[in-house]
Chains A and B, each alone.
Chain A
Amino acid sequence: MADVIEVGAARGDAPPPAGGTRRPGGVTARGHRATPYLFLAPYLVLFLVFGLLPILFGVWISLHQWDLQLPNRPFIGLDNYRDLFSSDSAIYGDWWSSLRATAIFTMLSVPLLVVVPLGLALLLNRSFPGRTFFRAAFFAPYVLGVAVIGLLWRFLLDANLGLVNRLLGVLGLPSDTPWVTDVPWAWVSLVGVTVWWTCGFNAVIYLAGLQDIPAELYEAARVDGANGWDRFRHVTLPGLRPVLLFVLTTTILASANVFGQSFLITQGAPGEQTRTVVWRIVDEGLRDYDAGRAAAMSVLFALMLAVVSVLNFRLFRYRED
């Protein structure tokens, strides 16, 4: 991230608009002092109301007993947070069970979503006839929304009517696997569908990164007698490090915020074992109207993700030295 932003900032810091005069950095149109703010204003209003204010407002709500249906919202300090940590509160079991579900999904899906797309990208990283077609085919599921892929895979994984079990039956394999109603199958389904749905996205990002690795490095390695595996380890992987870090970080965030897949495919089953954190938060806040408690969960969860992201950067930076 740093590189692009710094380069950008340096260029943006060109001298102030001096009334359309010529200077080394080029010329800039003349304008009133208020002009920049007028250009910025429409977006800034949106950003302040729906991007920045909610961060602070969320913390504020979490400090209140904030029932969406009641007019009085008494300040209760950290009670909402305390409830999430005390085993005798009504929410404790549901909250930790949703964290467990999210953790399981994230730990199973992230490694696959980091490795599988890298394999796809390596397969596509040289020019050959049909390359654009294959790239498009791998990416296609990603342009569909989670509602579509959720309904589709609920159907494909239906234990009785679904294509998956029926094809297994045709092949003479067990054809009664409860893909969406029992564990561990439900996890296999949620992770599998998510990999199928989004791995084209990560593959495209890897491809862009692979194309930035200078061909001379591969040539030099070849001259030094490095085989394919050596070149992958000593040229490809180091060259991809920033991209890997980006993919890892965004994939962890995306997986930790999983909602639609479990909402539509497993519908939380069995019991509520696949009910995720985001689902628990919106149900608590927007279905059961306890916005205070839901906001406390959001804040706590955002902090957990921030810690994971920071650790992530630390780990990779350290290994870079």
Chain B
Amino acid sequence: MTRLRGVLRYAVLLLITAVFVTPLAWMALTSVKTYADAQQDPPSWLPNPFSTYGYDQIINNTANPVLRWFVNSMLAASLHTLLVLATASMAAYALARMRFRGRALSFALIVGTLFLPPTSLIIPNFVIADRLGWLDTLTVVVVPGAASAFGVFFLRQFFLSIPRELEEAAVLDGANHWQVFTRVLLPLSKPALATLAVLSFLTNWNDFLWPVYVLFSPERLTLPAGLGLLQGAYVTDYPVIMAGAVLASVPVLILFVAAQRHIIQGVSRSGLKG
């Protein structure tokens, strides 16, 4: 009876896994098919012949500079992640370890925006970015998103969970706040910082709505914004479109496999705040 249930459980789990994974496999398989092969009915699962047609199209492409978009996205997501880590960790240190006038108010304001959907600020943020002269630049997809309250809230909770005793030795040796922060607290917070880094990178890499509307020049686009153009240009030439989609997926899938624990923990914690 229990054995049967065990087998049944695995059967159900494998079936569900197929539902989640098959579309992703189909994307990868289609990206290495020829145009004619991708049109076959009934569909052929494996590429016949194996073809680099889709990738050739997006690599040698001046109208849709996909590789340029890839580089732009890498730069934007990396710089955004560094900005979030630097600003959020310092602010979180102040909120967790210092006492000062306005602390409760600033924390309340920051937490208050946690449940505010970012889309509700898109019009005023566009006008602000315009006034700063940031439209159609790398800055506009790096900086504004770093105002998110999540990083500060997440790191503050983590800092509060670190016993102060661990900082005592440094303080008794005459360390100031900056030294305690950089030499004691940050090294102790590596798992939390890694989690925040991975989540920030993912969010920025995948961001779609904002870059679609604040970037205009083809060579300035990020990859997700560019993929929309690719779809418009290639309509049903699916090997090319899927090659673009694969290019946008590979970095985050690698990151997911390498940092799965951090991502899952980060998401779990975001639930515990609720």
Listed in ascending order, the chain A residues whose CB lies under 8 Å from chain B are: 1, 4-5, 8-9, 11-17, 20, 22, 25-31, 33, 35-37, 39-40, 42-44, 46-47, 49-55, 57-58, 61, 68, 120, 123, 128, 130, 132, 134-141, 143-148, 151-156, 158, 161, 163, 166-167, 169-170, 196, 200-201, 204-209, 242-243, 245-247, 249-250, 253, 256-257, 259-260, 263-264, 278, 281-282, 285-287, 291, 294-295, 298-299, 301-302, 305, 309
Say whether A146 contacts B103, CB under 8 Å.
no
B252 within 8 A of A: yes
What number of residue pairs across chains A and B have CB atoms under 8 A from each other?
Answer: 337
Q: Given the known inter-chain contacts A17-B99, A25-B164, A47-B110, please indicate yes or no for A147 contacting B267, CB distance below 8 A.
A: no
- Pairwise interchain contact A264-B124, C-beta atoms closer than 8 A: no
- Point out which of A35, A169, A243 has the most chain B C-beta atoms below 10 A from its C-beta: A35
Complex Cα–Cα for A130 and B144 (A) = 40
Residue among B20, B208, B238 with max Cβ neighbours from chain A (10 Å): B20
Least Cβ distance of B254 to chain A in Å? 10
A264–B245 CA distance with the chains assembled, in angstroms: 13
Q: Which residue of A lies closest to B247 (CB)?
A: A148
Please tell me if the beta carbons of B127 and A291 are within 8 angstroms of each other in the complex. yes
Q: A36-B100, A137-B17, A145-B248 are in contact. Are A204 and B115 (CB under 8 A)?
A: no
Residues of B within 8 A of A305 (CB): 117, 120
Chain B 154-194 residues near chain A, CB threshold 8 A = 156-157, 160, 163-165, 167-168, 170-172, 174-177, 179-181
Q: Which of B10, B115, B231 contacts A151 (CB 8 A)?
A: B231
Binds A, one of B34-42, B49-57, B58-66: B34-42
Which residues of B are at the interface with A, using a C-beta cutoff of 8 A? 6, 9-10, 12-13, 16-17, 19-21, 23-24, 26-27, 30, 38-39, 41-43, 86-88, 90-91, 93-100, 103-104, 106-107, 109-111, 113, 115-117, 119-128, 130, 143-149, 152, 156-157, 160, 163-165, 167-168, 170-172, 174-177, 179-181, 202, 205-209, 213, 223-225, 227-228, 230-231, 236, 238, 241-242, 244-245, 248-249, 252-253, 255-257, 260, 263-264, 267-274
